[in-house]
Amino acid sequence: MIFKVFKKKELAALYELLAVNAVVGPVRKGTDRHNQPLNDFARVYSFADLALDYSTTVHSPKRFVLPYRKDLARFTVNEQKWRKETDLDTERPVVFFGMHACDINALNKLDKVLAESVYPVSSYIRKRRNMFIIGLNCRPSPQCFCRSMGTDSVLHGYDMFLTDLGDKYFAEISSVTAFNFLQQIKCRDPGPGDERQYEAVTAEKTARFTTEVDTSDLTKILDLEFYSPAWDRWGRKCLSCGTCANVCPTCYCYGVEESVDLNLQEAHKTRFLYSCNLHDFAKVAGGHNFRPLASTRLKYRYYHKHRGFVEAFEESLCVGCGRCGAACLAGITPPEVIADVRGKKKCVHGREEKHDE
């Protein structure tokens, strides 16, 4: 790995260099009722729009690789024959300015299913390969438990990763494109002082985590606790609304909608992201529902994240960003659910109310 250091004001220069491409970054979208900023990823048109001090965005950057809705195919029908056309989208490069480690890890995990396993998804791969990612270190908020999931730092999947050292940035460079860009701004090799400072900042970040999830033997515990009453407890709270899956950076399940145009000459096939918490997720033709209860669906979500994916890829599908827990009106958070399934009550900071059962 090659490291560089540059002054903070140089970041604006770097932005200007990159801004001939489409740039996506964290922006302030509003403030909540406690006057705290709410951020999201969006297309940015000026360096000043970037909210680089953001904690976690409300929604994940997932939609830039997995749009909520996407036309899969268009059909032209003629008598008994038809023709199917699929869209090979033209992808222009997109620069992601300031993505945190958890979200980069999330993309790496999505790659495992959508790009690196059998039947790769071409539209995903095209989008993914046209991403230029500038990572950014973060200050953990109370909802974050990425450290427990091993995703608080990221080893690959970015072009450069920046760590804020107060008046300068410490850059880890992992692509030649990134290296070439840095050649164009004022930067230097790090000295021993920079390295100490980098280590101190990283250590300070690690010390800031307040939420923990005990993941030891979790796959086995999930199997053992398949009939645990904890699932019913949380299932009773679940609204079956799919919010958790929508804000999740790694949920990729989808549904398909087929429609025939009113002129009966064209048809469309559309993919939309779905959620395993929705009532009809496991309903089959004929009406049988394999998971009719909110508790069984909620359980299934945890099984997929923390057990099934581990079985298939030796790592959890959860990156511990805490978005699902923050977005869940019913206050269902993975640290609490997992602690409960393990038979422990877990105190998680930053939420207003816990179990009211």
Verify binding: residue 253, other proteins, rule CB under 8 A: yes
- In Å, how far from its chain's centre is CA 24? 15
Verify binding: residue 242, other proteins, rule CB under 8 A: yes
Verify binding: residue 40, other proteins, rule CB under 8 A: yes
Query: Could you say which of 30, 193, 229, 343 contacts other proteins (CB under 8 A)?
Result: 30
Positions in 170-189 near other proteins (CB under 8 A) = 177, 180-181, 184
- Tokens 């023709």 locate to 83
Residue 208 buriedness (CB in 10 A; 0-12 / 13-18 / 19+): middle
Positions in 287-346 near other proteins (CB under 8 A) = 290-291, 294, 296, 300, 303-304, 307-309, 311-312, 327, 329-330
- Rounded to the nearest whole angstrom, what is the least distance from the CB of residue 350 to other proteins in the complex? 14
Query: Could you say which of 150, 217, 223, 224 contacts other proteins (CB under 8 A)?
Result: 223
111: tokens are 């790659």
Q: What is the CA radius of gyration of the chain?
A: 22
Provide the CB-side half-sphere exposure for 293 (13 A, CA): 10
Number of residues this chain uses to bind other proteins (CB under 8 A) = 112
β-strand 2-7 against 187-188: which pairing, if any? antiparallel
Query: Could you say which of 112, 126, 208, 233 contacts other proteins (CB under 8 A)?
Result: 126
Verify binding: residue 252, other proteins, rule CB under 8 A: yes
Which of 50/121 has CB closer to other proteins?
121
Instruction: Give the per-residue contact string, 8-27, with other proteins (x = CB under 8 A; - = no).
Output: ---------xx-xx------
The SS3 of residue 265 is coil
The residues with which 268 forms a beta bridge, in sequence order, are 74, 259
Verify binding: residue 43, other proteins, rule CB under 8 A: no
- Rounded to the nearest whole angstrom, what is the least distance from the CB of residue 207 to other proteins in the complex? 29
- Rounded to the nearest whole angstrom, what is the least distance from the CB of residue 206 to other proteins in the complex? 29
Instruction: Give the per-residue contact string, 127-166, with other proteins (x = CB under 8 A; - = no).
Output: --xx-x----------------------------------
β-strand 22-31 against 94-99: which pairing, if any? parallel
Query: Could you say which of 12, 27, 38, 201 contacts other proteins (CB under 8 A)?
Result: 38
Positions in 268-297 near other proteins (CB under 8 A) = 268-269, 272-276, 278-286, 290-291, 294, 296
Positions in 61-120 near other proteins (CB under 8 A) = 63, 68-69, 72-75, 77, 79-93, 95, 113-114, 117-120
The residues with which 135 forms a beta bridge, in sequence order, are 99, 161
Which of 26/242 has CB closer to other proteins?
242
Closest Cα to residue 43, out of 68, 64, 16, 17? 64
**For 217-252, b where at least 16 C-beta lie within 10 A, e where not — what string?**
ebbebbeebeebebbbebbebbebebbbbbbbbbbb
Please answer whether residues 317 and 245 qualify as being in contact, where contact means their C-beta atoms are separated by less than 8 angstroms: no
CA quadruple 140, 146, 148, 154: dihedral sign: negative
Q: What is the dihedral of CA 227, 228, 229, 230, to 10 degrees?
A: -130
Instruction: Pick the stretch among 160-168, 198-206, 251-259, 333-341 that binds other proteins (CB under 8 A).
Output: 251-259
Which of 35/207 has CB closer to other proteins?
35
**Alpha-helical regions (H) of 208-264:** 218-224, 229-237, 243-247
